[in-house]
Amino acid sequence: MAKKDRFAALDELVFLPLGGSGEIGMNFNAYGFGPPDDRQWIIVDCGVLFGREGHTPGVDLILPDIRYLAEQRENVLGIVATHAHEDHIGAIAPLWPSLRCPVYATPFTARLIGGKLEEAGLSEKVRVKEVPVGGQLTLGPFTLDFISITHSILEPNVLAIRTPLGVVAHTGDWKIDPDPLLGERTDTEALEKLGNEGVLALVCDSTNALVPGSSGSEAEVRETLIQLVGTLKGRVAVTGFASNVARLDTVARAAKAAGRRIALVGRSMQKMADAARETGYLKDFPPVLDEADAADLPPHKVLYMCTGSQGEPRAALARIADNSHPNVQLSEGDTVIFSSRVIPGNELAIAEIQNKLAGRGVGLLTVEDHHIHVSGHPCRDELAQMYRWIRPKLALPVHGEMRHQVAHAKLARELQVPQALVPENGQMFRLAPGRPELIDEVPSGRLHLDGRVLVAAGEGLAKDRRAMGFAGLLVVSLVVDSKGRVAAPPVVLGEGMPEPVEAAVLKAVEDTLDGNTKGGRGRADPDDLAENVRRAARRAAHDAWGKKPITRVLVSEI
């Protein structure tokens, strides 16, 4: 960069993703404005990724590492949420204490963020500021227009982010649903107008960049579900994402059309319905039956809408499949409708649930045979439409795995976008002035919410836990006197290993202690002794078993 340019325009507009680029979930994007040593920041979305038991055992939530912004939090003007999905708002409550900035969202999103802050005990400290649907918000040098679009939840927004150096369009998650059933339709006029203004960069959803065509409409799903439920005889349970309120409304209508009463099963189902009603949606939703009352109705009079479509072990459907749900029992002649897709990684958990249900004679209807789900993300035709509206100088594909982002960038170039850059978490791009380019890399990564404690993902906890899951934990306890002599018989404790291993290890430990005593005139440095014993114990476990457990030696001095 020429020195002259720096002086001519000290202010820069930069884009910095700290989550959601190169991975699905955990979306976190920041925009900075000002001179390089004194930028002001806004954060767009602050989401989580759910831990996977096999990968990160014991970790429920994975969050972006935002220490770069936390260290300059006095310059962070606010967090703005595009919509209420967990991968966009789930990290606000756990990360808020390190940012301590205001939070902004449209009413439905604000209501759900508010609920999370309350659960985290933060509602006294931070109030979510509501921006009206289609409204505007000014934060320092940034003025944001909220432009309505469609997705698989109420109130998704494209943000037109205006700065003195130009405009960026940040799409959030979106699709073009010609009939979303509930909420606003896509404000095509505003998007076209934005494009006519001239847009520096389009920061856009890449989830379905590999999928040809269009994602389809909620209205088509409504038609199929109403028709399908009408053909069923026994109890019907429909499972899907609780956050898709239009789908929830569809299921209620399908129940009504078939003369069934609806019961909502699972906490998040109730929570979403309440949030929608309190913000003015679902006005003619039928009265909801209590689970326990629903059980008293004849099978053909009831329809359950359940959480757990992704096989989540604690959700309603998993418990119903296990026959351990307190109020909902399904059996021969009943049907479960999966009105959802399988999120990659959840295949086995879902198959396990489906096997249990099928084994009891419960019928299964899925997207494989019926048009009972549509994606909430733009396929290639929809992406092309967005680029025709916005006509940006630069495409910045986010929200996807690397292969989605790369395909998205290629598509943008084919659509005559002059420049496309694929961002990775932690990369800072200068968008203006001058030709956009990568200018810096800042610390980024993942945090694990482990119980109630936030830990850096690299600290090895998950690794240790996986190792313990594979080969258990071996503890050897030694007692030595002040002169380093062994003063009591050793104790060996093996957790999570077959019976003979402990005995083999004990024998090896005793032999090692004997050897140390004889060769070393009865004394040894406690640290050396512990290390010798640890190695001998691990070797003995491996000889007896073929596996090396995590091994700890405790030395007590008396």
* Residues within the interface to Zn ion (CB under 5 A): 85, 87, 173
Q: Which DSSP letter does residue 290 get?
A: P
The SS3 assignment for 152 reads coil
Task: Give Cα separations from 41 to 14, 32, 110, 150, 348 (angstroms).
Answer: 9, 4, 21, 27, 41
Supply the DSSP string of 306-366, one letter for each residue. Answer: ES-TT--TTSHHHHHHTT--SS----TT-EEEE-SPPPTT-HHHHHHHHHHHHHTT-EEE-
Choose between 375 and 517: whose C-beta lies nearer to Zn ion: 375
Report d(CA 402, CA 420) in Å as an integer.
14
List the beta bridge partners of residue 263.
Answer: 289, 304
Distances (CA, A) of 144 to 104, 123, 299: 11, 25, 51
DSSP 199-214: -SEEEEE-TTTTS-S-
CB nearer to Zn ion: pick between 341 and 552: 341
The SS3 assignment for 419 reads: strand
* Cβ 85 to Zn ion shortest distance, Å: 3
Q: Which is nearer to Zn ion, 85 or 319 (CB)?
A: 85
In the bound state with Zn ion, the residue whose beta carbon lies nearer, of 23 and 173, is 173
For residue 251, how many other CB atoms are within 10 A of its CB? 27
Give the shortest CB-171-to-Zn ion separation in angstroms: 11
Q: Which is nearer to Zn ion, 23 or 450 (CB)?
A: 23
Residue 310 CB, nearest approach to Zn ion (Å): 15
In this complex, which beta carbon is closest to Zn ion, that of residue 85 or of residue 391?
A: 85
Output 87 or 249, the one with its CB closest to Zn ion: 87
Question: Shortest approach of Zn ion to residue 151 CB, angstroms?
Answer: 5
Q: Choose between 85 and 111: whose C-beta lies nearer to Zn ion.
A: 85
* CB atoms closer than 10 angstroms to residue 115: 16
Taking the least distance from each CB to Zn ion, the nearer of 85 and 235 is 85
- The nearer residue to Zn ion, 253 or 399, going by C-beta atoms, is 399
Question: C-alpha angle with apex 520: 517 to 526, nearest 5 degrees?
Answer: 80
Distance CA 35, CA 11 (A): 4
For Cα atoms 355, 327, 312, give the angle at the middle one, nearest 5 degrees: 45
CB of 78 to Zn ion, least distance (A): 20
Nearer to Zn ion, 378 or 494 (CB): 378
Question: Least CB distance from residue 20 to Zn ion, whole Å?
Answer: 8
Burial of 1 from C-beta contacts in 10 A (0-12 / 13-18 / 19+): exposed
- Closer CB to Zn ion, 152 or 163, in the complex: 152
- Mind giving me the DSSP string for 237-280? EEE--TT-HHHHHHHHHHHHHTT-EEEEESHHHHHHHHHHHHTT
**Of residues 12 and 87, the one with the C-beta less far from Zn ion:** 87
CB of 347 to Zn ion, least distance (A): 20
Contact indicator for 108, 276 with CB cutoff of 8 Å:
yes
Distance (Å, whole) CA 28 – CA 394: 20
CB of residue 156 to Zn ion, shortest distance in Å: 7
By the 8 A CB rule, do 385 and 362 touch?
no
Euclidean distance between CA atoms 341 and 359, whole angstroms: 22
Torsion angle, CA of 380/383/385/387, rounded to 10 degrees?
-130
Shortest approach of Zn ion to residue 385 CB, angstroms? 19
**Smallest separation (angstroms) from Zn ion to the CB of 180:** 13
Contact between residue 382 and residue 176 where contact means Cβ atoms under 8 Å apart: yes
From CA 329, how far away is CA 321, in angstroms rounded? 8
In whole angstroms, how close is the CB of 88 to Zn ion at the nearest point? 6
| Nearest distance from C-beta of residue 87 to Zn ion, angstroms | 4
Is residue 135 helix, strand or coil? coil
Smallest distance, Å, CB 10 to Zn ion? 35
The strand pairing partners of 438, in sequence order, are 429
Q: How far is 83 from 484, CA to CA, in rounded Å?
A: 64
Q: What is d(CA 527, CA 524) in angstroms, rounded to the nearest whole number? A: 8
Nearer to Zn ion, 28 or 545 (CB): 28
